[in-house]
């Protein structure tokens, strides 16, 4: 079926004031996901691999990644809510809103994330899951923004290291939108800045 450019969501976004440049194109992402899948395949032969996906952003990465791992494996999902500070960064105050369906005791667990930023969310998850007696536990993240890192964590599998850009696409959202874009884009800063300014104004009103 031919695509109608008038109805092309991605094209329209690009023409609008929302998306900036592509940081990782769909083909670059797919290639890196394949490499990670091969690495994991080699490392987990004869292990009892369970991938734990942190909803919601991680789900796109997970579904591509598991199809590149040539082993028997299991998946399970967790949903958490993180209390966010004024500038929308994580505070490390985490609540589990959907727990795993099954026990991880004796399993070789891999936590799959779309992005690790301060590291506070993942360090909470690590503490929580380690207390359930897995055989091993590792982290796989598509994006690693280590310049904002607060928690001291060891990430075994990283797709790409990134800087301080605001990104959307391939699972990453802005106000819950744009997760379905196939590539990862920068979002235009003036739009984000307007939002941060309005959050600051609101919190100043509350603080006073
Ligand atoms: C993102 C990401 C991690 C967390 C990382 O989730 O998926 O869970 O932030 O941040 P941190 O390292 O600073 O703790 P987000 O809260 O955006 O939810 P989402 O996955 O539903 O988009």
> Confidence band (pLDDT; 50, 70, 90) for 38?
very high
The active-site residue, picked from 64, 108, 114, 117, is: 117
Residue 65 pLDDT > 70, yes or no?
yes
Percent of the chain at pLDDT exceeding 70: 82
Give the C-alpha separation, 128 to 97, whole Å. 14
How do strand 74-84 and strand 19-24 relate by DSSP bridges?
unpaired
pLDDT value, residue 168: 95
Q: Residue 180: is the preceding peptide bond cis (ω within 30°)?
A: no
Cα–Cα–Cα angle for 114, 118, 123, nearest 5°?
80
> Confidence band (pLDDT; 50, 70, 90) for 124?
very high
pLDDT value, residue 203: 42
The residue whose CA has the least distance to atom 20 of ligand 1 is 57
Residue 199 pLDDT > 70, yes or no?
no
Q: How many domains does the chain have?
A: 1
The residue whose CA has the least distance to atom 1 of ligand 1 is 115
- Comparing 198 with 56, the larger pLDDT belongs to 56
Percent of the chain at pLDDT exceeding 90: 69
Question: Are the CB atoms for 169 and 181 separated by under 8 Å?
Answer: yes
CATH number at residue 43: 3.40.50.2020
Catalytic residue check, 190: no
**Per-residue three-class SS string for 61-113:** HHHHHHCCCCCCCEEEEEEEEEEECCCCCEEEEEEEEECCCCCCCCCEEEEEE
pTM above 0.95, yes or no: no
Q: Which residues line ligand 1 (CB under 6 A)?
A: 54, 56-58, 82, 90, 113-122, 173
Question: 32 in helix, strand or coil?
Answer: helix
> Confidence band (pLDDT; 50, 70, 90) for 156?
very high
> Confidence band (pLDDT; 50, 70, 90) for 204?
very low
| Exposed e or buried b per residue across 35-69, where buried means at least 16 C-beta atoms within 10 angstroms of its C-beta | ebbeebeeebeebbbbbbbbeebbbbbbebbbebb
Find the domain containing 123 and state its range.
5-207
The token duo for 70 is 């040539």
The residue whose CA has the least distance to atom 2 of ligand 1 is 115
Residue 48 pLDDT > 50, yes or no?
yes
The separation between the first and the last C-alpha atoms of the chain, rounded to the nearest angstrom, is: 57
DSSP structural state of residue 58: H
């Amino acid at each position: 079926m031919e695509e109608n450019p008038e109805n092309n969501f991605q094209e329209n976004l690009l023409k609008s004031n929302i998306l900036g440049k592509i940081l990782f194109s769909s083909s670059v992402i797919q290639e890196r996901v394949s490499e990670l899948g091969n690495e994991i395949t080699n490392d987990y032969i004869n292990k009892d691999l369970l991938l734990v996906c942190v909803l919601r952003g991680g789900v796109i990465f997970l579904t591509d990644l598991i199809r590149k791992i040539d082993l028997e494996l299991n998946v399970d999902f967790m949903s958490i809510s993180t209390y966010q500070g004024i500038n929308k960064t994580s505070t490390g105050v985490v609540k589990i809103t959907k727990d795993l369906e099954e026990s991880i005791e004796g399993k070789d667990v891999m936590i799959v994330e779309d992005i690790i930023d301060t590291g506070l969310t993942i360090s909470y998850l690590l503490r929580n899951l380690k207390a359930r007696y897995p055989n091993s536990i590792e982290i796989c993240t598509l994006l690693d923004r280590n310049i904002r890192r607060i928690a001291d964590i060891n990430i075994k599998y990283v797709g790409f290291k990134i800087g301080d850009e605001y990104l959307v696409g391939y699972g990453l959202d802005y106000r819950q939108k744009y997760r379905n874009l196939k590539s990862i884009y920068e979002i235009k800063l003036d739009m984000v800045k307007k939002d941060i300014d309005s959050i600051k104004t609101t919190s100043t009103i509350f603080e006073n």
